[in-house]
Amino acid sequence: MMKLQSCLILLLAAGLFTLSGCEPKTTPAAASAALSAPTIPVGQITLGPVSTFEQACARCHGPQGSFYGEAFAKLSDTQLHEFIKEMMEGPAGLHPTEEDIAAMTAYHQALAAKKPYLVVMDYVKENGYRLSGQASLQSNLIIQTAANKVQTTPDSNGNWSVQLQSPPRGILVQKDEAQTFVDFRKP
Ligand code: HEC
């Protein structure tokens, strides 16, 4: 917490609007929510990007973006964000919040990098710890806690949920040969 605050003050003083100078984050999941929840990055997302893509974008861009061409992977983060905002509000006919757009952009960054995607959308302390969100279709999740490892897979809409005895430390997402590790111990 201290670390994040001093980092922010530094950035504000420097008049920068990016966190790129700060040591933690930019896993796709952490990118949008690192500020509000340093330890467990929970996004306030109303349109889960994995299911929303299949429902609203896949008819033009293919299941899981399989019709995107070579130019797609070369878009800058800013261009990608602009396209996604336009597409969500335009042809897809959605009413996304800024966090929804950020989450869809992070999902596209993972698609472009051919890495599995994960986002935490809810984290509740209740009979232990309940954690849920979305992840790339056909991926495999290994949730690491202080005590053990719990394995789960997202459903056909990309939704996953786990009930844990001890707090989660991180999630390893695997898909095909690629993997992404979202570390909750870092701020
Ligand atoms: C009705 C068809 C249609 C739908 C639905 C649609 N798009 Fe698009 N999308 C297009 C077309 C056509 C382009 C190329 C437009 C251009 O180059 O100006 C495009 C371009 C893009 C690009 C830029 C990369 C590229 O391949 O040109 C991204 C990223 C993108 N769309 C994301 C999305 C997302 C995310 C959704 C769902 C929220 C979505 N689109 C829904 C037709 C669609």
d(CA 101, CA 2): 29
Contacts of 128 (CB under 8 A, 6+ apart): 163, 164, 165, 166
Tokens of 105: 């952009």
Q: Ligand 1 centre and the CA of 157: distance in Å?
A: 20
Name the closest-CA residue to atom 14, ligand 1: 83
d(CA 84, CA 78): 10
Give 40-87 pLDDT, tens digit per residue.
778 889 999 999 999 999 999 999 999 999 999 999 999 999 999 999
Tokens of 137: 């279709």
Pocket test for ligand 1, best of 52, 57, 97 (most atoms within 8 A of CB): 57
Pocket test for ligand 1, best of 54, 78, 83, 107 (most atoms within 8 A of CB): 83
pLDDT (mean) for 157-168: 95
Output the pLDDT for position 37: 33
Output the pLDDT for position 146: 86
d(CA 12, CA 125): 33
Task: Give 34's Cβ-side CA count (13 Å radius).
Answer: 24
Residue 129: closest CA among 115, 145, 113: 145
